[in-house]
Amino acid sequence: MTNNPFPLPKDELLAAYRTMRTIRDFEERLHVEFAKGDIPGFVHLYAGEEACAAGIMSHLTDVDRIASTHRGHGHCIAKGVDVHAMMAEIYGKATGACRGKGGSMHIADLSKGMMGANGILGAGAPLICGAALAAKFRGDGGVGITFFGDGASNQGTVLESMNLAAIWNLPVIFVVENNGYAESTSVDYATAVDSYVDRASGFGLPGVTVDGTDFFAVYEAAGEIIKRAREGGGPALLECKMIRFFGHFEGDAQAYKAKGENDYNRTNRDCLKIFAGRVTSAGVVSAAEIALIDREVAALIDEAVGQAKGAPLPSARDLLTDVYVAY
Amino acid sequence: MARKISMKQAINEALDLEMRRDPTVIVLGEDIVGGAGAPGEIDAWGGVLGVTKGLHAKHGNRLMDTPLSESAYIGAAIGAAACGMRPVAELMFLDFMGVCFDQILNQAAKFKYMFGGKAKTPVVIRAMVGAGFRAAAQHSQMLTPLFTHVPGLKVVCPSDAYDAKGLLIQAIRDDDPVIFCEHKALYGSECDVPEESYAIPFAEANVVREGKDVTIVSYGLTVHRALEAAETLAKTGVQAEIIDLRTLSPIDWDTVIESVETTGRLVVVDEANPRCSIAGDVAAHVAQNAFGALKAAPQMVTAPHTPVPFSPVLEDLYIPSADAIVAAANKTTARALAA
């Protein structure tokens, strides 16, 4: 039997790969379907960033809560939100995760601890402080993770929340998904510090920067700070440096990127390729096992798209429901 | 047993009773305990005007002072509500909504609908409203219409201590986000309030004075101005019926319409600025739904379309006066009485 040099047992490695592959295929397929004109509204794809969601969410259960972003599909899938319900939601169908009333930017499943993708940048940080405060009052050991990009890192809500989490010693992890671009604006232009660790230290928080294309780097760094937060050690910041394969939203011509940037990243910095390469070359997982997951996920996404396209639309009466619990 | 207490005491009592009843009720805000981390007394303030004074001694760390970060702590209250707590967050002055409105407008108000009905956000945001404290343009506004405009929010504004207690208890038990507006000029006003717990349902307006000639609709401080006006009107033989809306969203249209169907005349008094105000809303609703009953055009008595001024002489002109209400009522009755 081959020695497993990784920090996860084989079944968890396979599960992590399945999560990342599911996110990738979900997003690649949306890219294709969106171009056909069947999907309404704005769609922001997470392809290229999968290792961050999967590496962090491997440490979480339903008692833990996350607040996501406009680029939230990856967080949803990694947190266990049903892929069929997500796809139907993005198509605006009555069977969607939010019955067609939220769309891509607002997918949520509170039963899974997923407090919503969010169309307002930086809005999740205060909310997750509240989730962590609730966990603290309940004493259920839950932690809260708020994801935000390098763009939203400059929102006052995020900075206020870092201070609040610090003074209340809340079990909150601030995850900066630094993909280098706030929409089209470079992080070098918009953020004054070179490292988000410096920003964290300004709030008295420990911080760590990892290569977000390396699942294992994310997994290990996240594991340490999540454990610390769970045990009452307080909040921390994790910066994942990552790659956004697509534009800010679908339809973005990405003229602000360097020539050849996307091709280079697809070839050399694809977190799935990097992960598969490592686990297969170590002999822990076989190429056949990877290929089997690829086939199963492809079938799942096909099925999800097929179901979503065939699903019923909301009815006129749905317009007026669920504004209040009671009014 | 009822005894006379102030609105401030009534609010304190409502918080105390609900915190005793339900362990998920927590209270947070700036200086709501007071003196956190400072060398002097604990519970030094109990809120900037002392409304939450003494609650810390009874409920300890379920009351939390916050840093001056309205977005962070109002958002945290909303997040905690979405995770099973019933937080009461104090925004101090409703004017401060400007720094945290996203959390109210785009988060709390939207979760239920946007997530397909699967969320509930039982948060109460208490805040002082209204003019009369010589506090000028950023601490005196009646911003109720900004919140009634937003689907998903409920908006409450009591006019006395009895209503404040019952409506706040209802607000805390309510499963939707509630903006609870406390008129600072009413904090000291006293009336009979039962010691025990009671909840006043939302969308049940209170007919505080019955009359057959003109319906005067208001809420908050101006209910008392309307009562003064009614005394004056009575001396000239005009009997005004006064309706205190109590809750602005949801709103009790039935009571308003029924009254107008009897009196045929409507005056709406609102301390908010006139455009897109509660006054305009009520006048429009009555015009659309009880046009046949109207004997005269509905009248609105509101603040002018200006910020709240500082100088006492100007501020006194800003707040709708009893005289202005009398004049508006006379305008609706002029034809009938002259005939």
A123 touches B at CB < 8 Å? yes
Distance from the A108 Cα atom to the nearest Cα atom in chain B, whole angstroms: 6
State the average pLDDT over residues A120-126. 97
* Dist CA A131 CA A65 (whole Å): 7
A308, part of any domain: yes
Q: What residue has token string 């964290």?
A: A200
pLDDT at A21 exceeding the cut of 80: yes
Measured between beta carbons, the chain A residues lying within 8 angstroms of B176 are 324-327
| Inter-chain residue contact A106 with B117, CB threshold 8 Å | no
Tens digits of per-residue pLDDT, B53-87?
A: 999 999 999 999 999 999 999 999 999 999 999 99
Mean pLDDT (chain B, rounded) = 96
A48, part of any domain: yes
- The sheet that has A144-149: what strands, in order across it? A65-67, A144-149, A172-178, A236-241, A207-211
- Gyration radius from chain A CA atoms: 19
Q: What residue has token string 């102030």?
A: B6
Tens digits of per-residue pLDDT, B112-140?
A: 999 999 999 999 999 999 999 999 999 99
Task: Judge contact between B33 and B43, C-beta under 8 A.
Answer: yes
pLDDT of residue B9: 98
Of the candidates B79, B102, B103, the beta carbon closest to that of A131 is on B79
Q: Is beta strand B63-65 parallel, antiparallel or unpaired with respect to A181-182?
A: unpaired
At residue B233 the predicted structure's pLDDT band, cuts being 50, 70 and 90, is very high
A149 touches B at CB < 8 Å? no
DSSP B93: E
pLDDT at A81 exceeding the cut of 90: yes
A26, part of any domain: yes
Measured between beta carbons, the chain A residues lying within 8 angstroms of B87 are 130
| Inter-chain residue contact A134 with B80, CB threshold 8 Å | yes
How far apart, in Å, are the Cα atoms of A129 and each of A67, A229, B82, B196?
Answer: 10, 13, 12, 34
pLDDT above 70 coverage of chain A, percent: 99
How far apart, in Å, are the Cα atoms of B177 and each of A52, A239, B24, B71?
Answer: 34, 34, 15, 16
Q: For B117, which residue in chain A has the nearest alpha carbon? A: A322
Measured between beta carbons, the chain B residues lying within 8 angstroms of A110 are 82, 115, 118-119
Mean pLDDT (chain A, rounded) = 97
pLDDT at B335 exceeding the cut of 90: no
At residue B334 the predicted structure's pLDDT band, cuts being 50, 70 and 90, is confident
| Inter-chain residue contact B116 with A97, CB threshold 8 Å | yes
Exposed/middle/buried for residue A141 (C-beta within 10 Å: 0-12, 13-18, 19+): middle
- Judged by average pLDDT, the poorest of B146-160, B222-236, B323-337 is B323-337
| Inter-chain residue contact A324 with B66, CB threshold 8 Å | no
Residues within 8 A of B (CB atoms), A 217-276 only: none
In order of start, what are the domains of chain B with their CATH numbers?
Answer: 2-194 (3.40.50.970), 206-338 (3.40.50.920)
| Inter-chain residue contact B72 with A161, CB threshold 8 Å | yes
* Dist CA A275 CA A51 (whole Å): 9
Residue (of B120, B318, B131, B136) closest to A323 by Cα position: B120
| Inter-chain residue contact B118 with A110, CB threshold 8 Å | yes
Cα B118 to the chain's mean position, in Å? 29
| Inter-chain residue contact A134 with B75, CB threshold 8 Å | no
Active-site residues of B, by number, are 139
pLDDT at A248 exceeding the cut of 50: yes
pLDDT at A232 exceeding the cut of 90: yes
State the average pLDDT over residues B244-265. 98
pLDDT of residue B337: 52
* Dist CA A251 CA A244 (whole Å): 14
E strands, chain B, are 2-6, 25-29, 63-65, 86-93, 124-129, 154-156, 178-183, 190-194, 206-209, 214-218, 240-244, 247-249, 266-270, 299-302
DSSP secondary structure letters along B168-200:
HHHHHH-SS-EEEEEEGGGTT-EEEEESS---P
* Dist CA A138 CA B234 (whole Å): 58
Residue (of A23, A57, A60) closest to A272 by Cα position: A23
A324, part of any domain: no
Tens digits of per-residue pLDDT, B93-108?
A: 999 999 999 999 999 9
Alpha helices in A145-191 (DSSP H): 156-167, 187-190
pLDDT of residue B1: 85
A129, part of any domain: yes
A17, part of any domain: yes
What's the ipTM?
A: 0.96
DSSP A198: H
State the average pLDDT over residues A269-286. 98
Range of the domain at A47: 10-255+267-274+292-314
Measured between beta carbons, the chain B residues lying within 8 angstroms of A137 are 24, 26, 62, 80, 85
Q: CATH code at A214?
A: 3.40.50.970
pLDDT at B16 exceeding the cut of 60: yes
pLDDT at A29 exceeding the cut of 50: yes
A4, part of any domain: no
Of the candidates B26, B64, B107, the beta carbon closest to that of A123 is on B107
Of the candidates B71, B84, B115, the beta carbon closest to that of A116 is on B115
Q: For A170, which residue in chain B has the nearest alpha carbon? A: B76
Residue (of B296, B190, B194, B207) closest to B245 by Cα position: B207
| Number of domains, chain A | 1
A130 touches B at CB < 8 Å? yes
Evaluate if pTM is beyond 0.90.
Answer: yes
Which element (helix H / strand E) includes B117? none
A230, part of any domain: yes
Measured between beta carbons, the chain A residues lying within 8 angstroms of B85 are 130, 133-134, 137
Cα torsion through A292, A294, A297, A298, rounded to 10: -120
Which two tokens mark B28?
């947070």
Residue (of B208, B201, B235, B207) closest to B330 by Cα position: B235
pLDDT of residue B339: 44
* Dist CA A175 CA B304 (whole Å): 48
